[in-house]
């Protein structure tokens, strides 16, 4: 190592005494600087050195040395090659990590998405709903949960086929999403720390769609279902145009206030019981 460092010491440049001796002798008659003053010759050499520095900029090794906090004279070709290899490998690792994280995010979204409707599937909706119930039990704000059911799903399937029945159910899910103004509705870290509860929509299977929301203003008990009723009418009033025919959509809805006193399963069962009344 000591030998490598010694070999990389910069060559010594002519000293001031040698430059003064060179300036003391005028150039020969055939030299371009013949007849020029000593000041002009010095100015010409300075311009030459500036042009040379612009034509040959510092090598990357200088930048690497400054980043690593090492003097350039310690970076031998072999050390520079090793450092460059490490830096390139770090960049490749960073790119692989970013790609892996993006892939994981896509897979997570696919795992939580319903196979037919543009909402969360049953597993994901129950998981997120259980999280909100536990937060409400620990002192968080209560929230409203509404369950919608396409009551004429089987009739649509008999009259116009399965695709028409699924289109009607998708129409219901789209109305829920539009009225709530949400994306996937999953709780994020910022939502938890700041006490925000974005809307949450998902399918419980069959012909049902669930909506949980915590941004509702305080309402009297008999008006808890006002938003759900507006969503229900938005579906039933428009119906579904299928094959040039306007098919009716019949929707029932029920809403309860979740304050953390009952488990998620009991909460869903209570909603289902209200729909069957």
**Which range (79-93, 129-143, 229-243) has the least confidence?**
79-93
**Where is the domain boundary, 46, 69, 87?**
87
Mean pLDDT on 112-135:
87
Mean pLDDT on 90-118:
74
Say yes or no to pLDDT of 198 above 90: no
**Which CATH number do you get for residue 251?**
3.30.70.270
User: Is residue 80 in a domain?
Assistant: yes
Q: Mean pLDDT in the chain?
A: 76
What pLDDT, on the 0 to 100 scale, is given for residue 77?
80
What pLDDT, on the 0 to 100 scale, is given for residue 262?
92
**Which range (3-7, 15-19, 232-236) has the least confidence?**
3-7
Mean pLDDT on 242-267:
93
Q: How sure is the predictor about 32, in pLDDT bands with cuts at 50, 70 and 90? A: low
User: Is residue 203 in a domain?
Assistant: yes
> Could you tell me if 126 and 38 lie in one domain?
no
Between 208 and 13, whose confidence is greater? 208
- Give the domain range for residue 12: 2-87
> Could you tell me if 250 and 166 lie in one domain?
yes
Say yes or no to pLDDT of 96 above 50: yes
CA–CA distances in Å: residue 151 to residues 21, 115, 179, 242, 276 = 107, 21, 20, 18, 10
Q: Is the pTM for the entire model greater than 0.85?
A: no
Residues 28 and 51: their CA atoms lie apart, in Å, by 24
**Where is the domain boundary, 36, 71, 87?**
87
> Could you tell me if 81 and 127 lie in one domain?
no
> Could you tell me if 186 and 126 lie in one domain?
yes
Say yes or no to pLDDT of 42 above 80: no
Residues 5 and 10: their CA atoms lie apart, in Å, by 10
The burial of 216, by beta-carbon neighbours within 10 Å (0-12 exposed, 13-18 middle, 19 or more buried), is given as middle
Residues 277 and 151: beta-carbon distance below 8 Å: no
């Amino acid at each position: 190592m000591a030998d490598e460092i010694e070999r990389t010491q910069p060559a010594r440049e002519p000293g001031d005494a040698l430059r003064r001796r060179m300036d003391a002798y005028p150039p020969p008659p055939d030299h371009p600087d013949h007849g020029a003053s000593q000041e002009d010759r010095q100015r010409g050499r300075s311009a030459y050195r500036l042009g040379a520095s612009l034509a040959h900029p510092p090598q990357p090794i200088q930048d690497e040395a400054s980043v690593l906090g090492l003097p350039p004279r310690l970076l031998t070709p072999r050390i520079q090659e090793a450092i460059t290899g490490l830096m390139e490998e770090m960049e490749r690792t960073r790119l692989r990590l970013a790609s892996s994280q993006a892939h994981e995010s896509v897979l997570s979204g696919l795992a939580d998405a319903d196979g037919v409707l543009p909402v969360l599937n049953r597993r994901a909706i129950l998981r997120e709903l259980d999280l909100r119930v536990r937060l409400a039990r620990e002192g968080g704000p209560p929230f409203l949960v509404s369950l919608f059911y396409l009551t004429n799903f089987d009739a649509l399937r008999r009259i116009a086929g399965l695709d028409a029945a699924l289109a009607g159910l998708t129409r219901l899910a789209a109305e829920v999403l539009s009225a709530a103004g949400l994306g996937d509705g999953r709780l994020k870290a910022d939502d938890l720390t700041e006490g925000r509860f974005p809307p949450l929509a998902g399918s419980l299977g069959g012909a049902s769609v669930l909506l949980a929301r915590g941004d509702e203003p305080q309402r009297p008990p008999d008006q808890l279902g006002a938003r759900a009723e507006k969503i229900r009418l938005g579906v039933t009033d428009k119906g579904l145009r299928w094959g040039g025919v306007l098919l009716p959509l019949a929707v029932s809805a029920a809403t309860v206030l979740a304050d953390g006193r009952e488990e998620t399963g009991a909460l869903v069962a209570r909603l289902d019981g209200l729909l069957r009344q």
